[in-house]
Amino acid sequence: MRNYELITIFNTAGGVTLDAARQGVQDIFSAHNIKSEKEEDWGERRLHHDVDRVGNGHFVFWTLKGPPDQMKELARELEIHQGVLRYMIRRA
């Protein structure tokens, strides 16, 4: 098990609520045997440039612990998650 950091930018202007989007990401964690050790809410911020015609996003930072092959699956599922505009996973 390795330590990772994940930053997600949620689309708060879309039809998905922030709580539902966060719960969806946490469900992905549990489905792939990834443990969330810490979660920080960085709040809503203006994006440097629009992403899919959205100018603001809600930033959330997680510290995670999990196997490397499951992080690839996490990235794949975050790509298709409706509430996530952008994400970044890095090894801590």
Instruction: Convert the pLDDT of each residue in 3-44 to its tens digit.
Output: 999 999 999 876 778 999 999 999 999 999 999 999 999 999
Q: pTM of the full predicted structure?
A: 0.90
Query: At a CB cut-off of 8 Å and minimum separation 6, what does 52 contact?
Result: 11, 85
- C-alpha distance across the termini of the chain, in Å: 12
- The per-residue pLDDT for 15 is 73
| DSSP secondary structure, 39-75, as one string | EEEEEEEEEEEEETTEEEEEEEEEEEEE-HHHHHHHH
Q: Mind listing the domains of the chain with CATH numbers?
A: 2-91 (3.30.70.60)
Whether the pLDDT of residue 62 is over 90: the answer is yes
Structural Rg of the chain based on CA atoms: 13
**pLDDT digits 0-9 by tens, 76-88:** 999 999 889 999 9
Q: What is the pLDDT of residue 9?
A: 95
